[in-house]
Chains A and B, each alone.
Chain A
Amino acid sequence: DIQMTQSPSTLSASVGDTVTITCRVSQSISTWLAWYQQKPGKAPRLLIFASSTLQPGVPSRFSGSGSGTEFTLTIFSLQPDDFATYYCQQYNSFSLFTFGPGTKVDVK
Chain B
Amino acid sequence: QVQLQESGPGLVKPSESLSLTCTVSGASISAYYWSWIRQPPGKGLDWIGYIYFNGSTNYNPSLKSRVTISIDTSKKQFSLKVTSVTVADTAVYYCARVPIRMVRGDPLPGEYGMDVWGQGTSVTVSS
* B contact face: mostly helix, strand, loop, or mixed: loop
Interface range on chain B (Cβ under 8 Å from partner)? 20 to 34
Count residues of A near B (Cβ-Cβ below 8 Å): 25
What 0/1 pattern do residues 108 to 127 of B give for CB contact below 8 A with A? 11111111011110000000
Query: What residue of chain B has the Cβ atom nearest to residue A50's Cβ?
Result: B111
Q: Which residues of A line the B interface, CB within 8 A?
A: 1, 32, 34, 36, 38, 42-46, 48-50, 55, 87, 89, 91, 95-102
Chain B positions within 8 Å of A, measured between CB atoms, are: 35, 37, 44-47, 50, 58, 60-61, 94, 108-115, 117-120
Can you list 23 contacts pairing A with B, beta carbon distance less than 8 Å? A1-B61, A32-B111, A36-B114, A44-B114, A45-B117, A46-B114, A48-B113, A49-B115, A50-B111, A50-B112, A87-B44, A87-B45, A89-B45, A89-B47, A89-B113, A95-B58, A95-B109, A95-B110, A96-B61, A97-B50, A99-B37, A100-B44, A101-B44
